[in-house]
Chains A and B, each alone.
Chain A
Amino acid sequence: QSVLTQPPSASGTPGQRVTISCSGSSSDIATNTVTWYQQLPGTAPKLLIFSNNQRPSGVPDRFSGSKSGTSASLAISGLQSEDEADYYCAVWNDSLNGPYIFGPGTKVTVL
């Protein structure tokens, strides 16, 4: 059972801005950096955001990440049909002797 909380779903029309939250605790998000992964249907997850707000080369700048206290957020600006996917936040958890924790995932639907 995940100790990170994400909404199970989010949706928007093309061009809209969608935000996904990831809520944790003082033992994980508050003390370590947050990563976001995108998993398109039937494919392996892909790194989307690392170190809270850094985009790897090749990730469009419509994806942005932020962190404040024990929560983090992923924003998708200018939503596109190809953004329909599952999105997972992840962070190292100090209190559980260091397991890497994934959030339960948020399914983004483009209406």
Chain B
Amino acid sequence: QLQLQESGPGLVKPSETLSLTCTVSGDSITSPTYYWGWIRQPPGKGLEWIGSIYDSETTYSNPSLKSRLTISLDTSKNQFSLKLTSVTAADTAVYYCARLLSGYDGSGFFYYFNYWGQGALVIVSS
């Protein structure tokens, strides 16, 4: 059974770097079928797409975060990671990692997250 588990510091100081890792079990992150991505949700608010990765050459990032964002794969550990630099209080959120599918079917272009981790709360505060 597929499981995704976020891990990383729960508290980050302003201007520092937020780093999270998603450990995947039950599937390989090198699977040709899937992408892997990150989504966040500020407390009491809606969902925001952060970005996704297929391989080291294929990544997509939210333009509003792109200058601060790095998403990478560690195939030896079956993990993928998120690094967000120069954080502020606005980056306080529950961060979810997820597996996603993207491509074309009879209805058109699809892009959706079909399995989610449980989420990790990261608070940005001094």
Contacts and interface: CB of A to CB of B under 8 A. Distances in A.
The range of chain A's interface size is 20 to 34
Interface residues of A, dominant DSSP: loop
Contacts of B107: 33, 51-53
Nearest to A50: B112
Interface string B41-70: 000001111001000000010111000000
Nearest to B96: A44
Given A44-B116, A44-B118, A99-B63, A33 B47 contact: no
Interface residues of B, number: 26
Nearest to B108: A33
B33 to A, nearest CB: 14
A90 B52 CA distance: 15
Interface string A20-64: 000000000001110101000001111100111100100000000
B108 A31 contact: yes
A97 B108 CA distance: 18
Nearest to A39: B47
A99 B37 CA distance: 12
A47 B119 contact: no
A51 B110 contact: yes
Contacts of A43: 118
A92 B52 CA distance: 13
A96 B62 CA distance: 9
B114 A44 contact: no
Interface in B77-126: 96, 101, 105, 107-119
A53 B111 CA distance: 14
Nearest to A52: B107
B109 A31 contact: yes
Interface string A69-111: 0000000000000000000101010001111111111000000
B60 A98 contact: yes
Contacts of B112: 35, 47, 50-51, 90
13 contacts: A32-B110, A33-B105, A33-B108, A35-B112, A45-B116, A47-B112, A51-B108, A51-B110, A99-B49, A100-B52, A102-B48, A102-B49, A105-B47
Interface of A: 2, 31-33, 35, 37, 43-47, 50-53, 56, 88, 90, 92, 96-105
